[in-house]
Amino acid sequence: MAQFRLARLCLMLAAIGVSAPALVTSAHAQQKDAAAPAAAAAQKDTVRPEIFKLLDPAAIKPLMDAKNHTEVQNRITQAEAFPNRTPYEDYVINRMKLSLGSSTNNNALAMPALEAVINSGRLTGAEQANFIQALANMHYNAKDYPKAIEWFKRYQKESPTPEAVRPALIRAYYLNNDFATAKTELAAMLAESQKTGKAPSEEDLRLLATAANKTKDDAGYLAALEQLVRYYPKDEFWVDLLSRGVARKAGFDEATFGQSMLRLEFAAAKNDLPPEHYTFLAETALRDGFPAEAKEVLDAGFAAGVLGKGGDAKTHTALRSKATKQAADDAKTIAAGEASAAKSKTGAGLVNIGWAYTTMGQADKGIGFIQQGIAKGGLKNADEAKLRLGAAQARAGKKAEAIQTFESIKGGGGASDIAKYWVLLLNQPGGAQTAAN
């Protein structure tokens, strides 16, 4: 999970203010009218002259400005030594402690003072909510996640903007190893956000995927991966998605659709595949008579700096040389195979000729042959041929036609999954261009 740190207490409190309230001495208040009910009420919010002398803001401010924190602490200590303090006197002392603690990054001093101030009942609604959030953030940064959760939830109850702390609360659940709650809350938050048309952040989607993985929720992990690929189509996400959503899915027919899956992976993430994926696709392409495809794949692997290094460097180079030679030979003889493919009892030869032309950079010509082959029938697997047709249409820049072809694929063994992810790729901003290159 990416680093998620909340604002430090001193920064938040600097924004909302931590100065002690204006002090009125009890002597001054009593001089106004000791018998009047109003004076009796005011008496509750005054401090004794002796405490006032110690904590007078006019005396404290120059000390704080001069960073004479030792003297400020001495004054607080002396004030705390007075017996029979009133609740308001305690409130004033705690406000002063909070100011000192936030200025000196002294959490041990600031946190209890902040909690006492919150529980004093003397803060306004907005100020109360801000101070609660500050304390929750402080517990979060101190990695006391149970307390952070407690205070974030209190903020949500007492603030008119409960959503303000929702991301932090979710992360506190996660870091407290309550992955199930984190996953549930995060999924709900993202669903609500997407209803408004707002794209989820990559960090939130990564967190959702990780929480799903922690709870062994394979379906949830896959759903999060699909969202990551939709909004943040990085190569690493594509490789993981196709591995989990196709290759490792129960019922996947690797013999029939393994190449089709790797072709999609190459189209989506050709610059950052595992080395064995480049070489396997190239080897099977050579085996099946598509040397131009093998050369294209190997060239991309070398260009990406993935192939041609380490202990397999010689093997990679030899395979590339073989593909390059066969591709050149195939370009000279492919036309001669058209007539033979047309006379065949099945459409397999036409589909193969069409895909060969496609891999040679002649996708428009290849599309026609593949369509003829599908129409002729007798194919071992029609869905595999349709996947090649859709890929050829994508290479030709015919996005709408490609999507229509892929959406017509409903078969099992991984065919419909591969088709679904082709549509996902084509519908991404720039996805059609990526598939065409």
Which residue bears the tokens 């697997």? 381
Query: Stretch 324-346: mean pLDDT, rounded?
Result: 94
pLDDT at residue number 156: 96
The separation between CA 376 and the C-alpha centre of its own chain, rounded to angstroms, equals: 47
Q: Of the ranges 19-33, 101-115, 125-139, 240-254, which one carries the lowest mean pLDDT score?
A: 19-33
Which residue did the predictor score with more confidence, 223 or 39? Answer: 223
With a CB cutoff of 8 Å and minimum separation 6, the contacts of 61 are: none
Tokens describing residue 290: 């598509």
User: For residue 31, is pLDDT > 80?
Assistant: no
Tokens describing residue 127: 């100020």
Residue 285: CA count within 13 A, CB half-sphere: 33
pLDDT at residue number 436: 72
Specify the DSSP class assigned to residue 23: P
User: For residue 34, is pLDDT > 90?
Assistant: no
With a CB cutoff of 8 Å and minimum separation 6, the contacts of 310 are: none
* Exposure string over 244-266, b if 16+ CB within 10 A, otherwise e: ebbbeeeebbeebbbbbbbbbbb
Specify the DSSP class assigned to residue 247: I
Q: What is the pLDDT of residues 158-199, one digit of tens each?
A: 999 999 999 999 999 999 999 999 999 999 999 998 888 889
The C-alpha torsion from 193 through 195 and 201 to 207, rounded to 10°, is 70
The separation between CA 51 and the C-alpha centre of its own chain, rounded to angstroms, equals: 52
pTM across the whole model: 0.82
Q: What is the pLDDT of residues 45-85, one digit of tens each?
A: 889 999 999 999 999 999 999 999 999 999 999 999 999 99
d(CA 383, CA 410): 8
Q: Give the count of beta carbons closer than 10 Å to the beta carbon of residue 143.
A: 11
With a CB cutoff of 8 Å and minimum separation 6, the contacts of 298 are: 278, 279, 282, 307, 316, 319, 320, 323
User: For residue 358, is pLDDT > 70?
Assistant: yes
d(CA 61, CA 72): 9
pLDDT at residue number 3: 53
Please provide the average confidence, as pLDDT, over all residues in the chain.
Answer: 90
